[in-house]
Structure formats: structure tokens, C-alpha cells
A and B are shown apart, each in its own frame.
Chain A
């Protein structure tokens, strides 16, 4: 995305975007049209950056309260597994069954 310098002089504003996995360049224009499009794109990029930062913060916040529960679950699973195996159980197709002696 950006300005291209033409051989005959002058600048031309272009946008690149992906269509079906291929990069397609869209020629927007020169002069005022190009300038407006460039400013609009710049503002959009800024908006996306702010949005990404906000999502990053939200994500950290959610991860902060999910993480201890996940950790607790993992510890409990290990202890539970050990206790059940010790008690003569074994997993059969994801379910605990008592082992035949």
C-alpha cells in the first residue's frame, strides 16, 4: 500500500490486498483523490492498531483469570489420576473402570 512514482512524473496511490490468496494491487489515483485515499487508509490503520492493542489488553485480562483455574485443574487431574490408578482403576475409552483382579 502506498505511493508509486511514475516515469512521466507525478505520484500514484495504490492499495494492495489479498484475493483468494493472491496479492492484488488496486490503483486508486493521483492528486487529491490519492491524497484522500492515503489519509483514509492511514486512519484505518491507526484504528486497527488501537483495536489490536485493546484486544491484547482484554486477552491478557481474560488469560489472567483463566490461567489459575487451568493450573488447578491440571494438578487435580494428576492427583486424581494417580489415586484412581492406585485404587485399581484404569481408563477404558476415556472412562474410568475398575480393573478386574
Chain B
């Protein structure tokens, strides 16, 4: 399977610049924040477009693998992801929100897929005899799964953080009381 989804050198350079400027601004370097703002304004549309392109190609591979060649399943998954995307992004999302939404949805699908892979490997029975992978590889899959889960949670957290920042409001805390005592 082809894996040529890499970003162009130009986009990589822009990301590098953003990373350096963010670090400088975070460290409090004079003038870095102004530079960072300029770089964000200049780079964001292009970087978001390129990343969305990667996300789209990534979905194709993920959906194809999850569906296992079943066109009905592919359609159903695709529709499910569209609904998720619309629900998470909400109305009129900013480019960054769109990108972070893509990230949440991609990570969710990856977590589901890796979970399905591991649980298939943990099944017992004759039908699994030739399909079982060695324990060493199962460990690798479990590590990927763990990392995907971490990325998924971090994607949700960062989207919430960006929304909070963009709305300019403080975080809202919900307290729910659950009564456990029976009457």
C-alpha cells in the first residue's frame, strides 16, 4: 500500500518556522509574539489546506481497512464520519477548528480500528489459528493503540482549549449531582 502522504518541503518549512516562533514567544522573547502572529496569518490557510488533504487521504485508507472491502460498510463509515465532523465542528468553524475537528475524527477512527485489530487477536478458536500474529507484534499494536488513544484525548482537549480561547470566555464547569440512595 502506498504511503506517500508527506507534506511538501515548503509546508514543512512553514511549520518549522511556526514551531520556532512559538517557542520563542512562549519563552518571552521580545518581538517574537508579533512575528508569530504574522506567521500564523500567512501560513494557516495553506497549512490547514495541506493537512486537510492528508486527512482526506488518511480517511480513505482507514475506512478501506475498517470496511475490509465491503462497499456498504465503507459508505456507512463515511456517513458516520461526516455526521461526527459536522457535530464536532459546529456552525461556522474557523480553519484551525476545522483542522482540529479532522484530527479528533481521524484519531477516533484510528482508535476504533486498532481496538478491533487487538480484540481480533485476543480471540480464541480454530479460525484464528493462521491469523494470529506473534506476541512481539501484538505488543507493537497495543503501543500504537495506546498512543492513538492519547492523541485522541489530547485532540479533544486542544479543540476545547482553542474554542475557549477564541470565544474569549472562561471555562464553564458543570456539576452534576447523582443520588445513589434508593427510596
Spell out A's residues near B (CB within 8 Å).
Answer: 51, 54-55, 58-87, 89-91, 96
Contact = CB atoms under 8 A, between A and B. Distances in A.
A20 B22 CA distance: 49
Given A51-B134, A72-B103, A67 B3 contact: yes
Interface residues of B: mostly helix, strand, loop or mixed?
helix
B77 interface: no
Nearest to A51: B134
Interface string B71-113: 0000000000000000000000000100110110011001001
Interface in B38-72: 39-40, 44, 47-48, 50-51, 54-55, 57-58, 61-62, 65
Interface string B127-141: 000000110010011
A10 to B, nearest CB: 38
User: A-side binding surface: helix, strand, loop or mixed?
Assistant: helix
A91 B36 CA distance: 17
A85 B113 contact: no
A83 B140 CA distance: 34
A81 B61 CA distance: 28
Interface of B: 1-3, 5-7, 15, 18-19, 21-22, 25-26, 33, 36-37, 39-40, 44, 47-48, 50-51, 54-55, 57-58, 61-62, 65, 96, 99-100, 102-103, 106-107, 110, 113-114, 117, 133-134, 137, 140-141, 144, 148, 151, 155, 158, 161-162, 165-166
B61 to A, nearest CB: 5
Given A65-B62, A83-B162, A72 B54 contact: yes
A71 B5 contact: yes
A62 B1 CA distance: 10
Contact of B3 (A54, A63, A80): A63
Nearest to A58: B133
30 contacts: A54-B133, A58-B133, A60-B1, A63-B3, A65-B61, A68-B57, A68-B58, A69-B148, A70-B151, A71-B7, A71-B51, A72-B54, A72-B58, A72-B102, A72-B103, A73-B155, A75-B50, A76-B103, A78-B15, A78-B22, A79-B48, A79-B51, A79-B99, A82-B21, A84-B165, A85-B25, A86-B25, A87-B165, A89-B161, A90-B26
